[in-house]
C-alpha cells in the first residue's frame, strides 16, 4: 500500500487523496510536509488511513397477498406480496423498494410493485404489494419476485436480491383439472351411436380458442369421455356424423370445468338420419389436368365434382372455393349451375384465374358446396383440407449454380490477374416455359457475403421447365484477391421484377471460386560444392527458388539481393551491393528456377550471407522470401588454419632408424573447419638439406588423410610409411596442406620447424654366397646348400638382430620359387661389438632351377623391422649359378593343312610346338601370339592381339604339343603371319621361340577376289525399261579354296542415289551357290525385276562372296562400269518426235563407218537372233500387261491444244526415229 516520491526540491508540500481504494471512504484531508536540509538522505514518511465502507443488503420472502400462502390458484386477478428484510441502511435516509415478478422458466415479467420508506434503524422489514395480474396461463408454473433497494436521494441501487433459484423469493401456481362425458344417441331411438367425431376447443363457442383434439364416440356405448382438463371454458363441435346416413349436428356444445373431484356429465347428443346428396371432388390445373403446377400470374384450376343421390330434373349449383392449406384464406372462387339428369354423375367447375406466384412450394385445396337452387339450401359439401383429391400443389422454382473462370473453366486456383472474367452456369427447375426471366449475378466475399466485387445479368425465356443458362459477370481486377474464396450469388426475377428464386448460400461449394496465391521459398548453396558453407575466395551462390501456384501463360521476374546477416543490411563487396535478376515463364504452376550471384568472398571470412528473393509480375510484387534467420537461405564463409607435429610411430621420438619400413606420424591440428564437409590433408616429406621433396625409389614420399570433422576444431593424423634405408643420418621435414573440394584452404610448410622434423640413424651389412665347398656354380640337385657370410657394421651392441635372407632369380630380379615357395634363410644373433660377421644357410631343391643365376638378398631386422639390407642383383659375391628347356614350332592352317590359309571371317591355325629338357610330371603352359611379319609387331584383329595357349604335363623330357589360334582373318589377304611361342611352368617363362624369319613359324594368306560384268540376258548394257527384265552378272573369282562350297549374293543399286533399287516396293536381290574345282573361275547371278519406272536410270550390281555363312570378299563399286547397266529413257510425251538415242541423245544414231557392219561388242556371248523385231515391238506383242503404257499412248489426244498439222508432224518424227533406232540395234547384234 506504499508509494514513494523522489528527487523533490527543498520546500513545502502536501498530499490530497483524490480516489479511495475500493470498499473504502474517500479521505480528503490535506497531508502537509517539508523537505529541508535534514531530510535529504532520510525519506519523510506519511501515514494515511481509510475507513471501510459497509454496503446494505436485503433478503425477501414472497407469498399470496392476504393468505401468505406459497401456492396460489391461477386466477384472473392473482395478487402477490414480498416481505423484504434489510441491513446496514442509514437511519433517517429515504429508500424505495422496486419489486418485479418474473416467470421462473423464461424470466418473463408479469407484474411490478413499489414501496418507499424512511429507515428508522440500520435493520428492518417492509412488505411490498405487487399489482394484481391474470395468472390463468400459469397453471403448474413457478414465479419469482426480484427486489432492488434504491437510495431515493441519489437514485442509486444500493442492494439487490435477484436469484431465480431462491425458494423464499418463489411462489407456485396450482394446476387443478377435471373431466367431461356425454353420449351420442339416435334422435328417435335413443340408441347409442358409434363413430361420431367431435373436435374439442378451448373457450366458449362465441370466443373459441385452440383445438385440443378429436374424439370419437365409442362402439357399443356411444360415449365420448375426456379427462385431465384444466379449469375453464370449452366446447365440442361434431365434425363427423355417425355412419348410416346420419345428419351432422354442427351445433357447439359449451361446458365449463370447475371441479377436480367429479366428471361433468352433459346431455345426450342426438343425430337425425337422412339420406342426403353426397359429392366427391378432384382438383387439377385447367387445360393440363396436372395436380402439380407452376405458380404463375394467371393460374387456372378446375374441380371435377362427382355426385350421388341427386334428384333428376332438379336444379343445383356448385360453389367452389380455393383455400390455402391452413383453411384460412380464400384464393379464388368458381360456380356452376346445372340440372341433374341422373341420380349420379359429375360436373367440372372452372375457378377464376388468380396470381399464384406467392404460393410456390405450397398446397391449396378446393372446397365444394352443392346447393339446391330452389331452396338455396346447401345439400352437400366436400371441404376436407387433407383430401389429396381436392388438393393441388405448386412447384418451387429453384436454382443451382456453378461458378467458373470464363476462359479456363476453372472453379478453383484461378490466377489473380488484373482482368479476370467469371461466368456462372445456372441450372433452373420448375420455371414456366415461355415466360421472360432475368438472372442477376453478384460476386461477394465468402466470409461476410456482403462485399460486391462485380455483377452480371442475363435475360432469357425458357422453352422447358428445367434447363440451364450461363450468366457472364463483368471483368474485375483480382490482383488483391489472391489466396481467398468468393461466392457468386444468383437471383431470379420474373417480368414484373418479383424474385422467383435465389441461390445465395455463401457456403455453397458450387457457387464458390477461389484465387490461387503464388508463393516462393529458396535454398541457397555454393555452385561448386552444392553446400551452404564455403571457403573465402571467388564463389558463385546458386539460389534455387521454389515457386508454387504460378500462371504458365505469364512471364515473371525474380529479383535477388545478398544480405549481411550480422547487420540485416545489404552485403557490400568493393562498396557495391550484390544482386541478380532473372525472367522466366513457368512450364508448370509449381517448379523451381535458379538464380546465380557471383562475388569475391576473399574479404568475407566469418560472415553469414543471406539471400533475399522477390517475385514480380508486370512490376507488381506477387511473393517474397526474405527471412534473415532462414538457414536454407544462408551461406557461411569460414577461415581454416593448421599446425603439425612429426614423430616416429614406433619410438615416438624424432630419431627413427633407417629401416626397410618406417612409419612417421604427423599430428595435424586444425581450426575453423566446416563440420560435416569432407577435407583432405596432403603431406609430403622434405629433405631439409636441399629443401626439396624427399625422393624414395624415384618417388616423392607423400601421404594424405581424408576426414569429415564433427566440430570446427580438432586434430587428424597423416601417416607416412616408406623405405628409409637410404636415409641414414638425414633430416626430414613434413609439409602439410589442407584441401576442401580440390581447393587449398590452409598450409603449414616451415622447413625450420623443429616439431615437423626427424633425423635418421646409420647401420651397414655386406655378404658372400657359396656352396658348402666354397664353389659359385651348383648342380641342379634335389638338395643344395648355399652359405652366405654376412659382415655387419654400426649395429647396437647387446641388441638382438635377425638376418633374413632370400634367394633371388637374377634374370627376373624376383624371389626363386621351389615347389611354389620362396627359399629363405634366417639367423638371430646379439652382437657383442658394433662390427662383426655371421652366417645364413639356405637348403633347397634346385632341380627346377636349371640355367638360373641365384643371388642372395639379405635384410637385417630388429624388432621385426628392417634396419639395413644388402640386395644387389648384380653383386657377384652374392651370386651362385644353377646349371638349362628349349622349344621350336611349326604353324599350319587347320582346314587345309597348308601354310596358305584363306582370309575368311573365322579361321583356325595350329602351331605344333616341339620341346626339349623339360621335367616329366610337371605342368607347363605354351603361350602363343601371332605377329605381323611386315611390321614385326603383334597382329591386331578388331583392335586386339591374337593369342592362344595350351597347358600340358610331359611324360618325357622331349616331345610336342599343339597351340590353336582361331580369329577373323578377313582383312589379312596376302599377309604373312608368324607365330611366337613362350614356355611357362609355375607362371615362369622357361623357354622362348620368337624368330620373325622362321619359315616353319610362318603362314601366308591367299587373296580371294571378285570381278563382275552386268548385262541383260542378251549381253546388252543398255536395256529397255520393261515390266519383266533379267540382269545377268558374270562373277569372276580368284584364289578360292578348291572343293569348298561358296555363295555369291548380289543387290541392284541406283547409281544416282546410292540406294537399293526397288521393284514393286522390294529390293532386287540375286544369289548363286557353287563349289570351285579350280582356285579361279566364273559364276553367274541373275536378277529379275519390273523396270518400267527405271527409264533413264543407271543400275549397279553389288556382289558379296560368302562361305559357311560368313563374308569372304565383296565387290561394291558404285562407279564400276562393268557392274553397271543403263535403262533407256522412253520418249517424252510432250516431245514425241525425239526418242532417246543411247549413243547420242537428241540425234538419230548413225554407224561410225557407213556401209560397214559394226564390230560386235561381246563376241564371247553372241546374242540370240531377234528375227527382225525390235524390243518395243516385242513388248507390245506379249500383251501380258494390259496396264503397260506404250509410246502411242503418250501422243496428244483429241481436244489437246495442238493443231492437226502439229499432230501429224509429231507422229511422223516418232515413226522415223523409231525405225532408225531399231535398225541400229539390229546392227549392234
Give the per-residue pLDDT at 51: 65
CATH topology of domain 641-759: Immunoglobulin-like (2.60.40)
- 398-514: CATH topology: Immunoglobulin-like (2.60.40)
pLDDT for 213-254, tens place per residue? 999 999 899 999 999 888 889 999 999 988 877 788 889 999
Report whether 307 contacts 339 (CB < 8 A): no
Show Cβ contacts of residue 1067 under 8 Å, excluding neighbours closer than 6 positions. 1051, 1052, 1060, 1061
Tell me, what's the pLDDT at 1171? Answer: 35
Q: Which CATH class is domain 774-882?
A: mainly beta
Is residue 327 predicted with pLDDT exceeding 60? yes
For the domain made up of 57-173, give the CATH fold.
Answer: Immunoglobulin-like (2.60.40)
Strands (E), 572-653: 572-573, 576-577, 579-584, 591-600, 608-617, 620-625, 634-638, 641-648
* Angle between helix 1175-1182 and helix 1204-1228 axes, rounded to 10 deg: 110
The closest of 1003, 1004, 1034 to 1017, measured between CA atoms, is: 1034
Judge contact between 430 and 396, C-beta under 8 A. yes
pLDDT at 1217 over 60: no
Of the candidates 984, 974, 873, the one whose C-alpha atom is nearest the C-alpha of residue 933 is 974
CATH 2.60.40.10 boundaries in the chain: 177-271, 398-514
Nearest to 118 by CA among 143, 71, 151, 146: 151
In angstroms, rounded to a whole number, what is the distance separating the alpha carbons of residues 850 and 882? 5
For 846, 942, 960, 974, the CA distances from 911, given in Å and listed in that order, are 31, 22, 10, 20
Q: Note the Cα 1181 to chain centre separation in Å.
A: 74
Task: Inform me whether the pLDDT recorded for 148 exceeds 90.
Answer: yes
Q: State the cell numbers at 76.
A: 384472473
Residue 861 CB contacts under 8 Å (≥ 6 apart), including other chains = 801, 802, 803, 804, 867
* The pairing of beta strand 569-570 with beta strand 620-625: unpaired
- Tens digit of pLDDT for each residue in 1026-1037? 999 999 999 999
Scan for cell 529479383, then name that residue. Answer: 559
> What are the angstrom distances between the C-alpha of 299 and each of 296, 365, 638?
5, 14, 90
Element (H, E) at 1046: strand 1046-1054
For domain 177-271, the CATH architecture is: Sandwich (2.60)
Closest CA to 736 of 677, 652, 668, 788: 668
Contact 28, 16 (CB under 8 A): yes
Residue 1075 CA to its chain's centroid (Å): 67
Query: H or E element: which one contains 1217?
Result: helix 1204-1228
Mean per-residue pLDDT, 1040-1061 = 93
pLDDT at 1169: 34
Topology, domain 520-637: Immunoglobulin-like (2.60.40)
CA-to-CA distance for 147 and 1124, rounded, in angstroms?
Answer: 133
Neighbours of 1137 (CB within 10 A): 15
Please, are residues 82 and 124 in contact by the beta-carbon 8 Å criterion? no
Measured between its terminal Cα atoms, the distance across the chain in Å is 147
Kind of pairing, strands 940-941 and 937-938?
Answer: unpaired
Whether the per-residue pLDDT at 284 is higher than 90: the answer is yes
Q: Is residue 102 a contact partner of residue 108, using CB atoms and an 8 Å limit?
A: yes
**Per-residue pLDDT tens for 653-699?**
887 878 778 899 999 999 988 888 899 999 999 999 999 999 999 99
Q: For 1133-1151, how does the pLDDT look when each residue is reduced to its tens digit (9 = 90+)?
A: 666 544 444 444 444 444 3
CA distance 575 to 552: 38
User: 1210: part of which helix (H) or strand (E)?
Assistant: helix 1204-1228
* The three three-digit cell numbers of residue 608, written as one number: 553469414
Q: Quickly count: other Cβ atoms within 10 Å of residue 1165's Cβ.
A: 14
Burial-class residue 764 by CB neighbours within 10 Å (0-12, 13-18, 19+).
middle
* Dist. CA 1024–CA 1030, nearest whole Å: 11
Cell of 620: 507488381
DSSP type of residue 325 = T
* Distance separating alpha carbons of residues 714 and 711, to the nearest angstrom: 7
> Which helix (H) or strand (E) is 1176 found in, with range?
helix 1175-1182
For residue 964, give the nearest of 900, 913, 888 by alpha carbon: 913
Res. 452: pLDDT tops 60: yes
Cell of 575: 562498396
Is 540 strand, coil or helix? strand
pTM assigned to the model: 0.35
The H or E element that residue 214 is part of is strand 211-216
DSSP string, 961-993: EEEEEEE--TT-TT-EEEEEEEEEETTEEEEEE
SS3 919: coil
What is the dotted CATH code of the domain comprising 1008-1129?
Answer: 2.60.40.3930
Per-residue pLDDT tens over the stretch 399-435: 999 999 999 899 888 888 878 899 999 999 998 888 8
**Of 62-66, 834-838, 977-981, 1209-1213, which gets the smallest average pLDDT?**
1209-1213
| DSSP code at position 327 | S
Q: How far is CA 316 from CA 258, 282, 311, in A?
A: 48, 19, 9
Q: Check residue 38 and give its pLDDT.
A: 63
- Secondary structure class of 790 (helix, strand, coil): strand
The CA distance from 690 to 720, in Å, is: 20
CB 543 within 8 A of CB 611: yes
What is the average pLDDT across 727-731? Answer: 90
Cell, residue 671: 581450426
CATH number of the domain located at residue range(s) 886-1004 in this protein: 2.60.40.3930
Q: For residue 1214, is pLDDT > 80?
A: no
Relative to beta strand 170-173, strand 124-129 is unpaired
What residue ranges in 781-835 does DSSP mark as E strands? 784-793, 801-809, 814-815, 817-818, 821-822, 824-829
Residue 842 C-alpha cell reads as 639356405
Q: Quick one: three-class SS letters along 240-274?
A: ECCCCCECCCCCCEEEEECCCCCEEECCCEEECEC
pLDDT range class, residue 46, cuts 50, 70, 90: low
Q: Which residues in the chain are classed under CATH 2.60.40.3930?
A: 57-173, 278-394, 520-637, 641-759, 774-882, 886-1004, 1008-1129
Q: Is 167 helix (H, G, I), strand (E, B) or coil?
A: coil
Question: Within 10 A of 252 (CB to CB), how many other CB atoms are there?
Answer: 14
Among the listed residues 740, 732, 738, 719, the one whose alpha carbon sits nearest the alpha carbon of residue 760: 732
> Length of the chain, please?
1229
Considering only 162-166, 773-777, 952-956, which range has the smallest mean pLDDT?
773-777
Count the Cβ atoms, other than its own, within 10 Å of residue 169: 24
* Cβ proximity of 458 and 469 under 8 Å: yes
Q: Using pLDDT thresholds of 50, 70 and 90, give the confidence band for residue 43.
A: low
Q: How confident is the model at residue 1153 (pLDDT cuts 50, 70, 90)?
A: very low
User: In the chain, what's the furthest Cα-to-Cα distance?
Assistant: 178
Least confident of 50-59, 248-257, 919-928: 50-59
- Band of pLDDT at residue 171, cut at 50, 70 and 90: very high
Query: Is residue 467 predicted with pLDDT exceeding 90?
Result: yes
- Which of 980, 927, 926 has the alpha carbon at shortest distance from 953? 926
Q: What's the rounded Cα separation, in Å, for the pair 770 and 881?
A: 10
Which residue intervals of 525-616 are DSSP H helices?
none
Q: What percent of the chain has pLDDT over 70?
A: 90
Tell me which residue has cell 371435377. 304
Domain 278-394: top CATH class: mainly beta
Rg value, the chain, Cα: 65
Amino acid at each position: 500500500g506504499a508509494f514513494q516520491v523522489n528527487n523533490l526540491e527543498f520546500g513545502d508540500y502536501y498530499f490530497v487523496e483524490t480516489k479511495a481504494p475500493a470498499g473504502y471512504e474517500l479521505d480528503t484531508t490535506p497531508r502537509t510536509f517539508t523537505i529541508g536540509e535534514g531530510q535529504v538522505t532520510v525519506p519523510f514518511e506519511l501515514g494515511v488511513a481509510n475507513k471501510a465502507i459497509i454496503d446494505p443488503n436485503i433478503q425477501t420472502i414472497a407469498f399470496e397477498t392476504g393468505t401468505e400462502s406459497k401456492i396460489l390458484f391461477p386466477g384472473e386477478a392473482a395478487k402477490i406480496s414480498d416481505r423484504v428484510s434489510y441491513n446496514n441502511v442509514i437511519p433517517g435516509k429515504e429508500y424505495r423498494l422496486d419489486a418485479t415478478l418474473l416467470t421462473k422458466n423464461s424470466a418473463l415479467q408479469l407484474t411490478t410493485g413499489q414501496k418507499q420508506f424512511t429507515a428508522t434503524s440500520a435493520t428492518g422489514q417492509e412488505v411490498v404489494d405487487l399489482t394484481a395480474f391474470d395468472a390463468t396461463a400459469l397453471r403448474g408454473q413457478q414465479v419469482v419476485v426480484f427486489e432492488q433497494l434504491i437510495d431515493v436521494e441519489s437514485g442509486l441501487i444500493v442492494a439487490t436480491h435477484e436469484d431465480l433459484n431462491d425458494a423464499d423469493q418463489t411462489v407456485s401456481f396450482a394446476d387443478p383439472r377435471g373431466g367431461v362425458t356425454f353420449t351420442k344417441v339416435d334422435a328417435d331411438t335413443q340408441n347409442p351411436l358409434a363413430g361420431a367425431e367431435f373436435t374439442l376447443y378451448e373457450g366458449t363457442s362465441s370466443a373459441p380458442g385452440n383445438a385440443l383434439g378429436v374424439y370419437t364416440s365409442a362402439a357399443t356405448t356411444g360415449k365420448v369421455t375426456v379427462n385431465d382438463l384444466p379449469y375453464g371454458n370449452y366446447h365440442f363441435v361434431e365434425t363427423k356424423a355417425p355412419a348410416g346416413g346420419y345428419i351432422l349436428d354442427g351445433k357447439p356444445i359449451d361446458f365449463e370445468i370447475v371441479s377436480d373431484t367429479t366428471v361433468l356429465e352433459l346431455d345426450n347428443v342426438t343425430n337425425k338420419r337422412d339420406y342426403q346428396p353426397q359429392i366427391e371432388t378432384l382438383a387439377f390445373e385447367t387445360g393440363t389436368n396436372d395436380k402439380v403446377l407452376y405458380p404463375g400470374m394467371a393460374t387456372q384450376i378446375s374441380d371435377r365434382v362427382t355426385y350421388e343421390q341427386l334428384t333428376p330434373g332438379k336444379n343445383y349449383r356448385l360453389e367452389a372455393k380455393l383455400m390455402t392449406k391452413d383453411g384460412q384464406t380464400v384464393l379464388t372462387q368458381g360456380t356452376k349451375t346445372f340440372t341433374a339428369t341422373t341420380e349420379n354423375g359429375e360436373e367440372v367447375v372452372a375457378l377464376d384465374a388468380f396470381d399464384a406466384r406467392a404460393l410456390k412450394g405450397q398446397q391449396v385445396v378446393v372446397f365444394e358446396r352443392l346447393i339446391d337452387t330452389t331452396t338455396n339450401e346447401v345439400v352437400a359439401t366436400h371441404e376436407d383440407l387433407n383430401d389429396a383429391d381436392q388438393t393441388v400443389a405448386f412447384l418451387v422454382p429453384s436454382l443451382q449454380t456453378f461458378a467458373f473462370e470464363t476462359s479456363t473453366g476453372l472453379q478453383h486456383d484461378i490466377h489473380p490477374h488484373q482482368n479476370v472474367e467469371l461466368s456462372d452456369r445456372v441450372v433452373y427447375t420448375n420455371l414456366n416455359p415461355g415466360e421472360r426471366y432475368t438472372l442477376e449475378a453478384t460476386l461477394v466475399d465468402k466470409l461476410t457475403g456482403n462485399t460486391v466485387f462485380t455483377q452480371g445479368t442475363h435475360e432469357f425465356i425458357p422453352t422447358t421447365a428445367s434447363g440451364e443458362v450461363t450468366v457472364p459477370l463483368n471483368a474485375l481486377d483480382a490482383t488483391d484477391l489472391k489466396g481467398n474464396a468468393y461466392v457468386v450469388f444468383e437471383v431470379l426475377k420474373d417480368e414484373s421484377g418479383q424474385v422467383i428464386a435465389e441461390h445465395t448460400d455463401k457456403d455453397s461449394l458450387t457457387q464458390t471460386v477461389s484465387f490461387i496465391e503464388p508463393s516462393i521459398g529458396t535454398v541457397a548453396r555454393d555452385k561448386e560444392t552444392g553446400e551452404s558453407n564455403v571457403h573465402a575466395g571467388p564463389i558463385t551462390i546458386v539460389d534455387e527458388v521454389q515457386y508454387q501456384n504460378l500462371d504458365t501463360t505469364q512471364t515473371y521476374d525474380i529479383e535477388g539481393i545478398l544480405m549481411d546477416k550480422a547487420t540485416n543490411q545489404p552485403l557490400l563487396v568493393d562498396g557495391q551491393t550484390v544482386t541478380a535478376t532473372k525472367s522466366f515463364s513457368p512450364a508448370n504452376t509449381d517448379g523451381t528456377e535458379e538464380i546465380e550471384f557471383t562475388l569475391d568472398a576473399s574479404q568475407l571470412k566469418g560472415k553469414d550471407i543471406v539471400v533475399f528473393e522477390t517475385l514480380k509480375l508486370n512490376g507488381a510484387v506477387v511473393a517474397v522470401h526474405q527471412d534473415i534467420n532462414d538457414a536454407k537461405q544462408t551461406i557461411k564463409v569460414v577461415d581454416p588454419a593448421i599446425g603439425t607435429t612429426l614423430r616416429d610411430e614406433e619410438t615416438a621420438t624424432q630419431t627413427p632408424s633407417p629401416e626397410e619400413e618406417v612409419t612417421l606420424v604427423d599430428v595435424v591440428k586444425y581450426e575453423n573447419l566446416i563440420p560435416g564437409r569432407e577435407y583432405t590433408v596432403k603431406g609430403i616429406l622434405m629433405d631439409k638439406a636441399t629443401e626439396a621433396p624427399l625422393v624414395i625409389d624415384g618417388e616423392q614420399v607423400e601421404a594424405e588423410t581424408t576426414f569429415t570433422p564433427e566440430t570446427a576444431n580438432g586434430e587428424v593424423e597423416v601417416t607416412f610409411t616408406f623405405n628409409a634405408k637410404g636415409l641414414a643420418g638425414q633430416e626430414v621435414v613434413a609439409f602439410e596442406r589442407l584441401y576442401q573440394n580440390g581447393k587449398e584452404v590452409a598450409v603449414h610448410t616451415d622447413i625450420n620447424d623443429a616439431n615437423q622434423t626427424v633425423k635418421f640413424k646409420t647401420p651397414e651389412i655386406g655378404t658372400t654366397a657359396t656352396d658348402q665347398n666354397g664353389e659359385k656354380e651348383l648342380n641342379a640337385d634335389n638338395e643344395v646348400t648355399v652359405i652366405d657370410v654376412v659382415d655387419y657394421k654400426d649395429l647396437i651392441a647387446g641388441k638382438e638382430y635377425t638376418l633374413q635372407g632370400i634367394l633371388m632369380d637374377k634374370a627376373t630380379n624376383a624371389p626363386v620359387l621351389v615347389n611354389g615357395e620362396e627359399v629363405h634363410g634366417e639367423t638371430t644373433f646379439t652382437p657383442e661389438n658394433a662390427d662383426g660377421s655371421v652366417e645364413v644357410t639356405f637348403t633347397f631343391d634346385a632341380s627346377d632351377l636349371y640355367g638360373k643365376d641365384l643371388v642372395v638378398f639379405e635384410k637385417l631386422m630388429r624388432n621385426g623391422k628392417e634396419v639395413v639390407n644388402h640386395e644387389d642383383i648384380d653383386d657377384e659375391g652374392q651370386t651362385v649359378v644353377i646349371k638349362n628347356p628349349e622349344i621350336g614350332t611349326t604353324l599350319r592352317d587347320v582346314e587345309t593343312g597348308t601354310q596358305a590359309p584363306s582370309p575368311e571371317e573365322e579361321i583356325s591355325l595350329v602351331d605344333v610346338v616341339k620341346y626339349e629338357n623339360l621335367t616329366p610330371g610337371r605342368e607347363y603352359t605354351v603361350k602363343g601370339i601371332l605377329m605381323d611379319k611386315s611390321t614385326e609387331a603383334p597382329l591386331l584383329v578388331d583392335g586386339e592381339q591374337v593369342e592362344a595357349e595350351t597347358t600340358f604335363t610331359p611324360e618325357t623330357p622331349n616331345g610336342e604339343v599343339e597351340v590353336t589360334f582361331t580369329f577373323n582373318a578377313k582383312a589379312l589377304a596376302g599377309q604373312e603371319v608368324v607365330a611366337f611361342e613362350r614356355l611357362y611352368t609355375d607362371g615362369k617363362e622357361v623357354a622362348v621361340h620368337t624368330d620373325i624369319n622362321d619359315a616353319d613359324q610362318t603362314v601366308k594368306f591367299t587373296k580371294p577376289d571378285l570381278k563382275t560384268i552386268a548385262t541383260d540376258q542378251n549381253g546388252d548394257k543398255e536395256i529397255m525399261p520393261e515390266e519383266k527384265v533379267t540382269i545377268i552378272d558374270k562373277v569372276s573369282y580368284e584364289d578360292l579354296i578348291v572343293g569348298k562350297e561358296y555363295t555369291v549374293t548380289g543387290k541392284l543399286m541406283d547409281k544416282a542415289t546410292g540406294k537399293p533399287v526397288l521393284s514393286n516396293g522390294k529390293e532386287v536381290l540375286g544369289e548363286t551357290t557353287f563349289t570351285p574345282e579350280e582356285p579361279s573361275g566364273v559364276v553367274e547371278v541373275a536378277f529379275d525385276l519390273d523396270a518400267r519406272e527405271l527409264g533413264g536410270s543407271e543400275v549397279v550390281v553389288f556382289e558379296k562372296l560368302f562361305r559357311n555363312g560368313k563374308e569372304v570378299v565383296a565387290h561394291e563399286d558404285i562407279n564400276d562400269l562393268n557392274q553397271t547397266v543403263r535403262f533407256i529413257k522412253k520418249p517424252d510425251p510432250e516431245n514425241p518426235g525425239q526418242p532417246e538415242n543411247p549413243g547420242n541423245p537428241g540425234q538419230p544414231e548413225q554407224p561410225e563407218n557407213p556401209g560397214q557392219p559394226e564390230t560386235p561388242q561381246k563376241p564371247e556371248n553372241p546374242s540370240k537372233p531377234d528375227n527382225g523385231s525390235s524390243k518395243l515391238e516385242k513388248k507390245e506383242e506379249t500383251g501380258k500387261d494390259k496396264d503397260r503404257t506404250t509410246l502411242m499412248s503418250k501422243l496428244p489426244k483429241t481436244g489437246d491444244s495442238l493443231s492437226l498439222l502439229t499432230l501429224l508432224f509429231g507422229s511422223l518424227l516418232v515413226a522415223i526415229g523409231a525405225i532408225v533406232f531399231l535398225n541400229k540395234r539390229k546392227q549392234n547384234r
